[in-house]
Amino acid sequence: MDHQSALNEIWQNIQPAIGRGKVASYIPELASVSPNHFGMAVVGLDGRVAMVGDACTRFSIQSISKLFALVMALRSEGDSLWQRVGREPSGTPFNSLIQLESEQGKPRNPFINAGALVVTDILCSRHLNPEMALVEFLRKLSDEPTIEYNLAVSQSERATCDRNAAMAHFIRSFGNLHNPVEQVLDTYCRHCAVEMSCVELARAVSFLAHHGRNPWSDEVLLTQSLAKRINALMLTCGTYDSAGDFAFRVGLPAKSGVGGGIVALIPNECGICVWSPALEESGNSHAGSLALEMFTSLTGRSVF
Ligand code: GLN
């Protein structure tokens, strides 16, 4: 079945699942987003775009930013990054502090908050204006110069991010954060507050389906080996504490955010993004996860 036919069928069947779950409310500015949105886009490596529902509406990418921040940090640090961040699933919620003490401030992986704070610290060391460096990277990947972060969302998270602040101070006490905590948190909250649509994100992630090369310009963004490793990390750690269940049900490398977005990809074929703000307990979009499961079932595609 082709991508657009699969999306049309998903649209028919997903309706009862839309709005089931809870919109993230611990970031006050996100609590007012309607749970009833649903959008999905698939961008093929041949440039063809399939979409359905609210696929062109921008939403808060939240932890999906961790994927692109990691790509930027790996581009500058290469494999030395792994001295500061691990690559094992954590088996704990994305904002947990529990392993940091026994593991001396080295976060389990770059997709939990602790790991993303270390990655953000690296970007702070490498760029004069690290929040805009990420925005510019996303503009380039999606070929969309109007991408921005939402100031109200970043300020709302920044004013209430005590838990991430505790984590950052703790990591710094082990010497694994080099810049001032305040600067790292400002940057982190702005990265999370970037707004993009499903079409823009599906396009932005497609280089990971193309061995690290931009499918349209052929620019090498990551070596083939690093691109493969990021895909492995997405599969094992990209959907919080449900990564095992997600791999079982969907079978694709993916990264989710509490704004309700999930990006995924099929190697050599396409980038995918789905958005529906109501989340299941682990923080993944309920309808979004289900839609991706339907997509791989309908098309018969997976990485296995
Ligand atoms: N900004 C959110 C936080 O730090 C991102 C979390 C997420 O999307 N899982 O809590």
Classify 136 as helix, strand or coil.
helix
For tokens 């069947």, the residue is 13
Amino acid at 250: V
Q: What number does the ligand 1 atom closest to the CA of 26 have?
A: 10
pLDDT value of residue 218: 93
Strand partners, 196: 59
pLDDT tens-digit readout, 24-76: 998 999 999 999 999 999 999 999 999 999 999 999 999 999 999 999 999 99
Q: Phi and psi (nearest 5°) for 297?
A: -70, -45
Q: Inform me whether the pLDDT recorded for 141 exceeds 90.
A: yes
Strand partners, 39: 53, 275
Q: Inform me whether the pLDDT recorded for 96 exceeds 90.
A: no
- Mean residue pLDDT across the chain: 96
CA-to-CA distance for 35 and 276, rounded, in angstroms? Answer: 7
Mean pLDDT over 105-132 rounds to 97
Token pair, residue 232, equals 């492995």
Strand partners, 59: 196
**Ligand 1 mean position to 9 CA, how many Å?**
31
CA-to-CA distance for 122 and 290, rounded, in angstroms? Answer: 35
pLDDT value of residue 159: 96
pLDDT value of residue 92: 84
**What is the CB < 6 Å shell around ligand 1?**
62-63, 94-95, 113, 157, 164, 192, 257-258, 283
Strand partners, 195: 60, 148
The conformation of residue 109, written as its DSSP 8-state character, comes to: -
Backbone CA torsion sign across 3, 42, 31, 257: positive
Mean pLDDT over 145-165 rounds to 97
Q: Which residues are catalytic?
A: 63, 66, 188, 240, 258
Residue from 23, 92, 95, 131 to probe ligand 1 pocket by mutation (most atoms less than 8 Å from CB): 95
Nearest CA-CA partner of 5 in 262, 304, 299: 299
Whether 252 contacts 265, CB under 8 Å: yes
Query: What is the residue with the minimal CA distance to atom 4 of ligand 1?
Result: 113
Token pair, residue 184, equals 């790292």
pLDDT band at residue 9, thresholds of 50, 70 and 90?
A: very high
pTM for the predicted model, two decimal places: 0.97
Mean pLDDT over 243-251 rounds to 96
CA-to-CA distance for 25 and 88, rounded, in angstroms? Answer: 28
pLDDT band at residue 93, thresholds of 50, 70 and 90?
A: confident
Whether 287 contacts 278, CB under 8 Å: yes
Q: Phi and psi (nearest 5°) for 182?
A: -60, -40
